[in-house]
Amino acid sequence: MRSSLKDVAARAGVSVRTVSNVVNGSASVSEKTRARVQQALDELGYRPNLAARSLRAGRTGLIGLVIPEIHSPYFGELAGLLVEAAQRRSWTVIIDQTHGRADEERRLLKGTHAPIVDGLIISPWALDASELSEQAGPTPMVLLGERDPRRVADHVAVDNVLAADEATRHLLETGRRRIAAIGPQPELRNGTAEQRLAGYRRALHRAGLTPDPALEVPVPTLHRTAGARAMEELLDRGGPAPDAVFAFSDELALGIMRTARDRGVRVPEDLAVVGFDDIEDGRFSNPSLTTVSPDKAQIAERALQCLADRIYSPGGTVPPQRITVPHRLVVRESSRPAGNGSRSAAS
């Protein structure tokens, strides 16, 4: 059985309250008593009971992270960074997966774990901002990568329109003209895909090109398989083949390159590919993948900062924040103009 303050107090011959004071340093304790209590603490290996502590304090020190899939490389990297950022603040993270399903998002938002967490970080796929705000309880919440036009909660994301625009412009600058966009997701309500599509079209317009609807290929998910299928579909359609693809995620891009290889389409000679997310796989893929790299560490840090602000200033009337984190385009082999050499170290 684990020992409690009472046990320690008995052993040290002081009151429970004094032990608590030593543990928390909350009141002044004489050097002599402190030493005696400390010894008792060590001997019994005292560990505070979190349940009791949070029952008193009304806080648990737990943060809920609600993401579509832990095993997806992007969310995996992000989750790792969030766990570390949380650790720096003495918080613990609970991770839940929604698989992008609306009912799961609703359930997790309302509460399977809600009563236990002090704050919630959610990356919604199936719900749009207004439904999110309806479902949400009083728990502080931060949205990741969600459009949130009504500003229902704090919100951290890259500028998706700008990033997609830059990615497309890069393809245009290397001489590509028939640029496909693989990744629109009509099923989803979170707006991210729409923003990337808008950025893609904007870049084409600026270059004096008219977006060809036949080159915009929707996908059911952002997985590699979906990318592979979408590419097959695009190639099978007949008509002039694309000379470049802007994929809305690195995973899609990797699936696309897989199909390209199967069909004998050379990357980047016949087809340039750009992805989004900068997952590690893309640095080691063959060819290595050009991508939009969001500053994930900063996403994690800023999201937690938002939560901290709300948790520690309870009466908070601070309006919902909208935070844009930086991104940069990382050019690798998959979009290098021919003749630029294919050899490269991972960067």
Binding site for its own copies (CB under 8 A): 2, 47-52, 54-55, 60, 62, 69-73, 76-77, 79-80, 83-84, 92-97, 111, 113-116, 138, 224-225, 228, 254-255, 257-258, 261-262, 280-281, 283-286, 288, 343-346
Query: Does 56 interact with DNA (rule: CB under 7 A)?
Result: yes
Judged by CB, which is closer to its own copies: 44, or 207? 44
**Among 211, 222, 283, 286, CA closest to 230:** 222
Please state the φ and ψ torsions of residue 216, each to the nearest 5 degrees: -100, 110
Judged by CB, which is closer to DNA: 115, or 326? 115
Report the distance separating Cα 260 and Cα 271, nearest Å.
8
Minimum separation from the CB atom of position 194 to its own copies (A): 26
The site map against DNA for 12-51 (x = CB under 7 A) is --xxxxx-xx-xx-xxxxx-xxx-----------x-xx--
Minimum separation from the CB atom of position 103 to DNA (A): 25
Judged by CB, which is closer to its own copies: 39, or 344? 344
Minimum separation from the CB atom of position 83 to DNA (A): 24
Name residue, tokens 């290595």: 288
16-24 and 5-12 helices cross at what angle (nearest 10)?
Answer: 110
**From DNA, its own copies, none, which one binds at residue 209 (CB under 5 to 8 Å depending on kind)?**
none
Minimum separation from the CB atom of position 36 to DNA (A): 9
**From DNA, its own copies, none, which one binds at residue 247 (CB under 5 to 8 Å depending on kind)?**
none
Minimum separation from the CB atom of position 116 to DNA (A): 12
Structure tokens at 113: 């774990």
Span from 55-63, 128-136, 207-215, 312-320 in contact with DNA (CB under 7 A): 55-63
Judged by CB, which is closer to its own copies: 98, or 185? 98
CB-CB contact of 345 with 174 (8 Å): no
The CB density around residue 310, as the number of other CB atoms within 10 Å, is 20
Report the distance separating Cα 33 and Cα 17, nearest Å.
12
Minimum separation from the CB atom of position 339 to its own copies (A): 18
**Among 326, 328, 330, 329, CA closest to 156:** 326
Q: Would you call 207 helix, strand, or coil by DSSP?
A: coil
Minimum separation from the CB atom of position 198 to its own copies (A): 28
CB-CB contact of 211 with 274 (8 Å): no
Rg of the chain taking only CA atoms, in angstroms: 26
CA dihedral 120, 83, 248, 346 (to 10 degrees): 170
**From DNA, its own copies, none, which one binds at residue 242 (CB under 5 to 8 Å depending on kind)?**
none
Judged by CB, which is closer to its own copies: 171, or 260? 260
**From DNA, its own copies, none, which one binds at residue 73 (CB under 5 to 8 Å depending on kind)?**
its own copies
Q: Would you call 13 helix, strand, or coil by DSSP?
A: coil
**Among 10, 2, 37, CA closest to 22:** 37
Minimum separation from the CB atom of position 213 to its own copies (A): 28
**From its own copies, DNA, none, which one binds at residue 97 (CB under 5 to 8 Å depending on kind)?**
its own copies
- Strand 327-330 and strand 290-294: pairing? antiparallel
Report the distance separating Cα 59 and Cα 57, nearest Å.
5
Query: Does 139 interact with DNA (rule: CB under 7 A)?
Result: no
CB-CB contact of 170 with 331 (8 Å): yes
**From DNA, its own copies, none, which one binds at residue 77 (CB under 5 to 8 Å depending on kind)?**
its own copies
CB-CB contact of 114 with 96 (8 Å): no
Name residue, tokens 């890069």: 170
Return residues touching DNA (CB under 7 A).
4-6, 14-18, 20-21, 23-24, 26-30, 32-34, 46, 48-49, 52-53, 55-57
